[in-house]
């Protein structure tokens, strides 16, 4: 090929790669859009739990926390499957007050991120969003050996069936039983007096100041796209041929 033809050819190649490259680079990478609803919907068998999360507005609180770039402690969620809910005595949920429904949902959420291996070393009882471990009202005990993780609430014994989702902010585990807290479902339920002090002291979203965030998507934006390198290569070659 003659060099007079070579340069326009290389220029075209360069131009093509450039447009392609910029088309790929230009849109900023989408922000992480994980939300608890979409995570559970992908799991495919959590419609009852999703409904409860929405009805109690705990879903919104979780999503608020997920949207803060660098939550300090993360969240662990035990998600009972639809099977687990259908295993409840009929009317169990309907008999609960709104406050009790909220506590039931909060009882399935730990205010820290716990990986499967960490379950072996946690100290019981674990603190849940429902609070009040000391009074023995909402104890949640976990025993783990290898991959097997058992949970007991004093009312039910449950098993972690599998990990639905986990990243550095949130872990979602499927459990085979609805975790019924002692406070609400214990053997001698003192005729459910409306709690004088609503347990609002442990909100799901603790808006702690997120410190120096190194967002991974920000880092990606600065990376050279391989195509860009290729087109620079072509441009350089073109220049050499032109000069020769
Ligand atoms: C959760 O994600 C789904 C799917 O991406 C979206 O349709 C829904 O609006 C999101 N909900 C919230 C509260 O962000
Ligand atoms: C979990 O519970 C089952 C019975 O429900 C028992 O056989 C098993 O040993 C328990 N595992 C752990 C780690 O506690
Ligand atoms: C949970 O563990 C604590 C500490 O080991 C123990 O005192 C308590 O009885 C346990 N509760 C249940 C329901 O297993
Ligand atoms: C849960 O497990 C404990 C110890 O393994 C047992 O004593 C208790 O009866 C079990 N409770 C239920 C509701 O199965």
What ranges do the domains of the chain cover? 36-121+161-178
Verify cis geometry, omega within 30 degrees of 0, for the bond prior to 125. yes
For residue 37, report the distance from its CA to the centre of ligand 1, in Å.
Answer: 7
Evaluate whether 204 touches 193 at the Cβ level (below 8 Å): no
pTM over 0.75: no
In tens, the pLDDT along 166-212 reads 988 899 999 999 999 988 998 764 455 555 554 444 444 444 444 44
Question: What is the C-alpha separation between 139 and 180, in angstroms, rounded?
Answer: 10
* CA separation for the pair 98, 37 (Å, rounded): 21
- Pocket test of ligand 2: the residue of 119, 141, 143 to mutate, having most ligand atoms within 8 Å of its CB, is 143
Range of 4-8, 114-118, 200-204, 217-221 with top mean pLDDT? 114-118
Helix axes 58-67, 47-55, angle to 10 degrees: 90
The mean pLDDT value of the chain amounts to: 76
- Dihedral of CA 234/237/241/243: which sign? positive
* CA-to-CA separations, 32 to 107, 113, 167, 169, in angstroms, rounded: 27, 18, 11, 12
Overall fold of domain 36-121+161-178: FAS1 domain (2.30.180)
Q: Ligand 4, residue 152: give the atom nearest the CA.
A: 1
Taking only the tens place, the pLDDT of each residue in 91-131 is 999 999 999 999 999 999 999 999 988 999 999 999 999 98
């Amino acid at each position: 090929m003659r060099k007079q033809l070579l340069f326009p050819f290389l220029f075209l190649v360069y131009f093509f790669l450039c447009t392609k490259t910029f088309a790929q680079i230009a849109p900023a990478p989408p922000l992480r859009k994980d939300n608890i609803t979409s995570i559970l919907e992908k799991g495919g068998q959590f419609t009852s739990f999703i409904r409860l999360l929405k009805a109690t507005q705990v879903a919104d609180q979780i999503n608020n926390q997920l949207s803060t770039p660098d939550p300090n402690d993360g969240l662990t969620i035990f998600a009972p499957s639809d099977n687990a809910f259908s295993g409840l005595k009929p009317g169990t949920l309907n008999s609960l007050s709104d406050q009790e429904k909220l506590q039931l949902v909060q009882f399935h959420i730990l205010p820290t991120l716990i990986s499967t291996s960490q379950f072996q070393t946690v100290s019981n009882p674990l603190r849940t969003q429902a609070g009040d471990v000391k009074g023995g009202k909402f104890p949640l005990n976990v025993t783990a050996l290898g991959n097997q993780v058992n949970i007991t609430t004093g009312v039910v014994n449950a098993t972690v069936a599998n990990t639905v989702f986990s990243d550095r902010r949130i872990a979602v585990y499927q459990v085979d039983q609805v975790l019924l807290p002692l406070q609400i479902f214990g053997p001698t339920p003192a005729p459910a007096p409306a709690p004088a002090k609503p347990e609002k002291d442990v909100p799901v979203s603790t808006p702690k100041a997120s410190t120096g965030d190194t967002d991974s998507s920000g880092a990606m934006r600065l990376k050279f796209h391989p195509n860009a390198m290729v087109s620079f290569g072509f441009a350089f070659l073109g220049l050499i041929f032109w000069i020769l």
